[in-house]
Chains A and B, each alone.
Chain A
Amino acid sequence: MAVPAPHPASTEPSAGLGFILKKAVISALVALVLFFLMIGIRTEAGPSGQLIYWTRFGELAAIVGAVFVGSIVIELLRRWIGPVGGVELPASVRGGFAVLGRLLAPALLIFALLVPVIFYKERYLLDLAILVMTYVMLGWGLNIVVGLAGLLDLGYVAFYAVGAYSYALLAQSGLPFPHFIDTYPYVALDFQQLGPWAFWVLLPVSGLLAALWGVILGFPVLRLRGDYLAIVTLAFGEIIRLVILNWQDLTGGPNGISGIPRPTVFGIPLTPGEHGFAAMIGVPFSPTHRLVFLFYLILALALITNWVTIRLRALPIGRAWEAMREDEVACRALGINITTTKLSAFAIGAMFGGFAGAFFATRQGFISPESFSFQESALVLAIVVLGGMGSQLGVALAAIAMIGGFELFRGLDQFRMLVFGGVMVLLMIWRPRGLIGHRAPTVFLQKRTEISASLVKEGHG
């Protein structure tokens, strides 16, 4: 991906006011050309179908002016803030940051464990926390593909969808489905008989199916790199969504699937009544129990993703992923099979996407193709890029900031996207390599020294 190389420490002061003004004038001119027809002239069909139009030069001037001023502001900001990577902080400050950084992850974990306790009374916040954790998990899953292996995947939502639909369909029918149970009663598996255990049996199944699709979709793109890979994976994401949308018999098309079995505490349903979980442990039933359980469930799933990723990174396979991101040719010269290395990254990333999808289905109880649009892929990718590609902690922070921020600005309505875009632009100016840009080595002899982001490659496909 074409993230510009970070600028050298302090941008050349020689390029002064003239340069800024010139840049702003050019931007304003481009805006003028662009918006002249779009905003400057307003057309409409008149009452009898004829074309009527009028000019809006005032608005046009306002927009062009805004672009002019905005361009100056951004250029100034770029100079003021600069990419932090280049600014040498005093040793004491850096030491302080290092300690903070080391404490941050455990602190976040403890906080996460306590969330249901702290926010027990606030259903909305609990719901939000579950959502955030889902994106943390998706971010960690995609991080394997994009951050470690350097394969720019814009269709990650496909695997999320495969996981969700696998769970939803299998839980309501059996294998082979849809109608085979009646035809071949001996070979068929009826998952409905699983009753309350459906989720626990089907969660791994959904993950494996998603991994399978990761491999299937991985094969055709093995030879593609960079932008081409991004476009084809984007298309795959859309294809899966469109297939789901149009295969009415199986997936219910745009109506989606409802009545998906809710999760159980290892077989004990979270329902009122004497067989429910509340009755078992002897407390009055409350619908919040399910939320708390869902939160811990997704937290556990996300932590498993995290643990597996951290472990894999230090294993030969993970090192091969990172080496492939750094230099594919050198990998081949060292006897590393690029095909299996790429496919394994796709498969494992997809598997975690599938787990998250199954969780999403059981949490919602209802899924439809709307939940699996390209926007989701873009959001998860933004989380990975913003977090600093490859950094587990960075991805978690980015997910919290982005999903949490989205909710925070809900009151702003249509300006939400504007604020969101602005913040993204600022962050990319300030930290072009994401929140946590440096890379921690997986093995060391004397001392684990962080590797600065400027050396680490982002992969080219």
Chain B
Amino acid sequence: MTNAAPILAIDGLTMRFGGIVAINELSFTAQRRQITALIGPNGAGKTTVFNCITGFYRPSGGTMTLVHDDDATFRLDRLHDFRICKYAKVARTFQNIRLFPGMTALENLMVAQHNTLMRASGFSLLGLLSAPSFRAAERQAIDLAREWLQRIGLLDRADDAAGNLPYGDQRRLESARAMCAQPALLCLDEPAAGLNANESAALSDLLLSIRDDIGTSILLIEHDMSVVMEISDHIVVLDHGVKIADGAPRAVRDDPKVVAAYLGADEEDAAAVMEGGA
């Protein structure tokens, strides 16, 4: 609560793929307990930023610093792979949903608590003997999963295979799964893609409740401007790997550079930006 430092500070982030510069000298900060949106036309490099933050890509340059509530500081550009989620507590979702389709919704949420449970199971030894301490930890994990299923309205489908759920439910389940990893920073890659208006509204409420009730900071990539304008505290606009605007939703919406970028890319997107907050 007392910590004033931004949860994530990105400074001079650059990502090159061979000759392509996907992100060029990108700097921005995400404030604690806020929703920071990362928007931009298709191919702007938003997902690439996520892949750098969550350790799937090793950035070609720049620093990314994450500070927990207890002041523990992590240099994300030096950590990588699973360590980012395990130690730095950054969880993410994917643009094209990556659930475990053959496992139930509940199992998906249990897998997300792997590291906690693994420790509780004494690296499987206590677990094999079914030690009371492990059983308690497992009950807790199930309770957390149940709570999230309740939040996303999927409690009655807890025991159905994730691959059998409708598209919108899968999207919400993926967000819930990321939250079950108990992250400090939640990165959502287009969580509203493919949702209808009702589902989008429900998603907005869910994200606001994650921010306000749980206090998790959110980094959000989203094309649905109604969602972005409604819930984000801060917006960063990316175009061709370069930051072109950064500010409060209202200011960003009126920024001529943003409108131009969207106009250059796609008329519909531009219209969406301008209508979004109106």
Would A335 and B115 be within 8 Å (CB), given that A446-B158, A447-B159 are in contact? yes
From A311, A320, A449, B114 is in contact (CB under 8 Å) with A320
Nearest-CB residue, chain A, relative to B124: A317
B92 CB contacts on chain A under 8 angstroms: 333
Contact with B along A113-134 (1 / 0, CB 8 A): 0000000000000000000000
From B85, B121, B156, B161, A452 is in contact (CB under 8 Å) with B161
State whether the Cβ of A424 lies closer than 8 Å to any Cβ in chain B: no
Q: How far is the CA of A336 from the CA of B86 in the complex (A)?
A: 8
**Is B111 a contact partner of A334 (Cβ separation < 8 A)?**
yes
State whether the Cβ of B215 lies closer than 8 Å to any Cβ in chain A: no
Would A334 and B181 be within 8 Å (CB), given that A308-B128, A316-B114 are in contact? yes
Q: Which of A14-22, A33-41, A278-286, A323-331 forms part of the interface with chain B?
A: A323-331
Q: How far is the CA of A443 from the CA of B54 in the complex (A)?
A: 29
- B70-128 contacts to A, CB under 8 A, are 81-86, 91-92, 94, 98-104, 106-107, 110-115, 117-118, 121, 123-124, 127-128
Q: How far is the CA of A390 from the CA of B253 in the complex (A)?
A: 53
A447 CB contacts on chain B under 8 angstroms: 159
A311 CB contacts on chain B under 8 angstroms: 127-128, 130
State whether the Cβ of A290 lies closer than 8 Å to any Cβ in chain B: no
Chain B CB within 10 Å, residue with most, of A316, A327, A439 = A316
Closest Cβ of chain B to A339, distance in Å, is: 9
State whether the Cβ of A91 lies closer than 8 Å to any Cβ in chain B: no
State whether the Cβ of B243 lies closer than 8 Å to any Cβ in chain A: no
Chain B CB within 10 Å, residue with most, of A312, A317, A329, A330 = A330
Count of interface residues, chain A, beta-carbon cutoff 8 Å = 37
Nearest-CB residue, chain A, relative to B83: A335
From B114, B149, B160, B177, A319 is in contact (CB under 8 Å) with B114
A439 CB contacts on chain B under 8 angstroms: 102
Q: How far is the CA of A322 from the CA of B55 in the complex (A)?
A: 22
Nearest-CB residue, chain A, relative to B113: A316
State whether the Cβ of A258 lies closer than 8 Å to any Cβ in chain B: no
**Is B103 a contact partner of A317 (Cβ separation < 8 A)?**
no
**Is A326 a contact partner of B102 (Cβ separation < 8 A)?**
yes
Would A443 and B110 be within 8 Å (CB), given that A317-B124, A451-B104 are in contact? yes
Would A333 and B104 be within 8 Å (CB), given that A327-B98, A338-B82 are in contact? no
B231 CB contacts on chain A under 8 angstroms: none
A442 CB contacts on chain B under 8 angstroms: 107
State whether the Cβ of A445 lies closer than 8 Å to any Cβ in chain B: yes
Would A441 and B121 be within 8 Å (CB), given that A327-B98, A330-B98, A337-B82 are in contact? no
**Is B94 a contact partner of A317 (Cβ separation < 8 A)?**
no
Count of chain A to chain B residue pairs whose CB atoms are closer than 8 Å in the complex: 139
Would A334 and B91 be within 8 Å (CB), given that A312-B124, A312-B128 are in contact? yes
Q: How far is the CA of A331 from the CA of B155 in the complex (A)?
A: 23
Would A330 and B100 be within 8 Å (CB), given that A320-B111, A336-B111 are in contact? yes
Count of interface residues, chain B, beta-carbon cutoff 8 Å = 49
State whether the Cβ of B164 lies closer than 8 Å to any Cβ in chain A: yes
State whether the Cβ of B244 lies closer than 8 Å to any Cβ in chain A: no
Contact with B along A445-461 (1 / 0, CB 8 A): 11111011001110000
**Is A333 a contact partner of B85 (Cβ separation < 8 A)?**
yes
Closest Cβ of chain A to B119, distance in Å, is: 9
**Is A315 a contact partner of B159 (Cβ separation < 8 A)?**
no
B164 CB contacts on chain A under 8 angstroms: 455
Chain B CB within 10 Å, residue with most, of A311, A326, A457 = A326
**Is B114 a contact partner of A336 (Cβ separation < 8 A)?**
yes
Q: How far is the CA of A320 from the CA of B121 in the complex (A)?
A: 13
Q: How far is the CA of A50 from the CA of B186 in the complex (A)?
A: 80
**Is A315 a contact partner of B85 (Cβ separation < 8 A)?**
no
**Is B158 a contact partner of A316 (Cβ separation < 8 A)?**
no
**Is B81 a contact partner of A315 (Cβ separation < 8 A)?**
no
Give 29 pairs: A residue, B residue, CB < 8 Å, sorted on A: A311-B130, A316-B110, A316-B114, A316-B117, A316-B127, A317-B118, A317-B121, A317-B123, A319-B107, A320-B111, A327-B99, A329-B98, A330-B98, A333-B91, A334-B82, A334-B85, A337-B82, A338-B82, A442-B107, A443-B107, A445-B106, A445-B159, A446-B156, A446-B158, A447-B159, A449-B104, A451-B102, A455-B101, A455-B164
B interface, CB within 8 angstroms of A: 54-56, 81-86, 91-92, 94, 98-104, 106-107, 110-115, 117-118, 121, 123-124, 127-128, 130, 142, 146, 149, 155-156, 158-161, 163-164, 177-178, 181
A interface, CB within 8 angstroms of B: 308, 311-312, 315-317, 319-320, 322-323, 326-327, 329-338, 439, 441-449, 451-452, 455-457
- For the complex of A and B, list the 6 residue pairs with the smallest distance between their C-beta atoms, beginning with the closest: A456-B102, A335-B85, A335-B86, A326-B100, A316-B117, A455-B163
